[in-house]
Structure 1
Amino acid sequence: MDIDEFRATLQDVAPPANLGMALLALWWDRQGDWERAHECAQANESDPASAWVHAYLHRKEGDLSNAAYWYRRAGQPVATGKLDAEWESITETLLAG
C-alpha cells in the first residue's frame, strides 16, 4: 500500500485489516480519535515504529516532554515542524517498510 491508497482508506468506516499497530494508530488519528490512536500506539511500546507514532501523538496533544521521551525511544529526532507534515512523513516511512 502506498500513501495515496492509505489516504483513500480514510473514507472507510473501518481501517484496513492488514495494518500494523503503528499505521492503525495513524489511521485512527486521521479519523479524529486520539484516544483510540493512542491505545494502538501503546499496544507495542518496544516497537520503534509505535514509539515514533506515540511521540507524534503526544506532540499533537501538547505534551512535549512526554513526546520527547517517545522520540528518544523511537530513535528519532524531536520533530518541530507542522503536525500534518510529520504525519505524512511517518506514514510514508512506515508504508515503505
Structure 2
Amino acid sequence: MTYAEFNASLTQQTPPAGLSSLLQALWYAGRDEWSNAHDIAQEHEGESLYDWLHALLHRQEGDASNAAYWYRRAGRPVFHGTIRHEWETLARTQLPA
C-alpha cells in the first residue's frame, strides 16, 4: 500500500486489511479516533516508533507535557510542525511514496 492509498483509506469505515499495528493506530489517529490509536500505542510501550506515535497522540489531545515525555522515550526531538504533518511523516516511515 502506498501513502496515497493509505491516506485515501481514511474515508472507509474500517482500517484496510493487512495493516501493521502501527499503521492501524495511525489510521485511527488520522480519523480522530484517539482512543483506538492510544490503546495500540500503549500495547507497544517501549518501542521507539510507538512511543513517537504516543507523543503525537498526546499532542493531538493538547497535552504538550505528556507529549514531551513520549518524545524523550522515543529518543526524538519535539516535533514543531502541524499535527497533520507529523502524522504524515510517521506514516511515510512505513509506506512507499
Structures share a fold, TM > 0.5? yes
Q: Cα offset for 1:78?
A: 0.5
1:49–1:94 Cα contact (<8 Å) kept: no
Identity percentage of aligned residues: 49
Q: Cα offset for 1:11?
A: 2.0
Q: Give the number of aligned pairs.
A: 96
Give, as a single letter, the amino acid of the residue that structure 2 aligns with 1:51: D
- Structure 1 unaligned residues grouped into runs of 5+: none
Aligned Cα RMSD in Å?
1.3
Q: Cα offset for 1:34?
A: 0.8
Q: Which residue of 1 aligns with 2:20?
A: 20
Q: Which runs of 4+ in 1 moved over 4 A?
A: none
Counterpart mapping for 1:42-57 below 5 A: 42-57=42-57
1:21–1:50 Cα contact (<8 Å) kept: no
Q: TM-score, normalised by structure 2?
A: 0.89
1:22–1:40 Cα contact (<8 Å) kept: yes
Q: TM-score, normalised by structure 1?
A: 0.89
Query: C-alpha separation between the residues in 2 aligned to 1:70 and 1:20?
Result: 21
The answer as to 2:4 corresponding to 1:4 is yes
Q: Cα offset for 1:71?
A: 0.8
The answer as to 2:31 corresponding to 1:31 is yes
